[in-house]
Amino acid sequence: MITIDMLCYYSRLRYMNAMEKFTYAMLTLLFCVVSRSLAMAVLVLAVNGILTVKKGGIPFSRYWHYLMIPLAFLILSTLAVIVNISRTPFDAFAIPVGSYHLTASYASIYKGIQMILTALASVSCLYFLSFNTPMTDILSVLKKLRCPDLLVELMLLIYRYIFLLLGISFSISLSQDARLGNRDLKTSLRSFGAMASVLLIRAMTRSGALFDAMEARCYDGRLQVLEEQYPPKRKEILWILFFEIFLLILTIWSKIK
């Protein structure tokens, strides 16, 4: 989780206009899901891979590693869709189990692969966004898209405080380790419970202190902040437009066919 957060700060695409990246990721995701075509999925996977690894400079091994995480789930879940238990064997393969068959048809295998690739391509769209855009930039896009202020402000605070809480919990567990707090199951259960209760108390005091500090800076109920400005580039917009129109045509074509 921490590494996933750090990646975007080192990405070379970080200073690209966030709205551009957001629009690209969302439109591509939409076309991917709507068309469900194999060709589209492969194309999107390839383009996102090139953008994130080549343009963004995220190490390929990292990117591959993060793509493999959902893949494991996808394979397991599509297996259930592909494989049937039936009295009559289908055309692809059939393993007899008593009077039944563990069987699948070519059509369902094709469908399964299509599903896996579509899902993976969709994930790659979201990865493109999150590997190349800091959270605060995504939030500013949400704000521009008229997402309710309350939600955006909550997300802003939660994002910041996740790291504070993680830091505190890390140092508490470190000091517990230093005093043999995790030597066996019993002590580690007790240590974990103690940490959880301390974390709650700390979180409460922190939130009180934060509110005081914000009040001290004339907080009036609205979290107004300025964003760093990365103006959109005409060339990038043209490329995105070109690519999305191409995907649109592909989608329409795959639906007509």
Partner 1 sequence: MSETPILRAENIYYSYDNEKSHSLNGLSLEIFRGKKIAFMGANGSGKSTFFLCCNGINRPSKGTLYYCGEPYDYSRKGLLRLRSKVGIIFQDPDDQLFSASVYQEISFGILNLGVPTEEARREVEQVIDRLEITPFRHKPTHALSGGQKKQVSIADILVMHPDIIILDEPAAALDPKHTIMVNKIVDQLTQEGITVLMSTHDVNYALEWADEIVLLHEGQVLMHGSPLEVFTDKKILAQTNLAQPAVLQLFESLCKKGILDASLPLPRDLGTLEHYIENIQTSHNKEETDTCPQK
- Tell me whether residue 166 or residue 241 sits nearer to partner 1 (CB atom): 166
Q: What does the alpha-carbon distance between residue 9 and residue 133 come to, in Å, rounded to a whole number?
A: 8
CA 61 to chain centroid: 17
Question: In whole angstroms, how close is the CB of 169 to partner 1 at the nearest point?
Answer: 14
- Tell me whether residue 47 or residue 58 sits nearer to partner 1 (CB atom): 58
Question: In whole angstroms, how close is the CB of 222 to partner 1 at the nearest point?
Answer: 8
Of residues 50, 66, 56, the one with CA closest to residue 10 = 56
Question: In whole angstroms, how close is the CB of 131 to partner 1 at the nearest point?
Answer: 15
Question: In whole angstroms, how close is the CB of 62 to partner 1 at the nearest point?
Answer: 18
Q: What does the alpha-carbon distance between residue 50 and residue 23 come to, in Å, rounded to a whole number?
A: 18
- Tell me whether residue 9 or residue 184 sits nearer to partner 1 (CB atom): 9
Question: In whole angstroms, how close is the CB of 216 to partner 1 at the nearest point?
Answer: 5
Of residues 205, 199, 193, 209, the one with CA closest to residue 170 = 199
- Tell me whether residue 69 or residue 209 sits nearer to partner 1 (CB atom): 209
- Tell me whether residue 104 or residue 138 sits nearer to partner 1 (CB atom): 138
Residue 48 near residue 60 (C-beta atoms within 8 A):
no
Per CB under 8 A, residues contacting partner 1 are: 5-6, 9, 14, 134-136, 156-157, 159-160, 163-164, 167, 206, 209-210, 212-220, 223-228
End-to-end CA distance of the chain: 42
Q: Is 247 exposed, middle or buried (0-12, 13-18, 19+ CB in 10 A)?
A: buried
Residue 40 near residue 162 (C-beta atoms within 8 A):
no
- Tell me whether residue 192 or residue 219 sits nearer to partner 1 (CB atom): 219
- Tell me whether residue 91 or residue 215 sits nearer to partner 1 (CB atom): 215
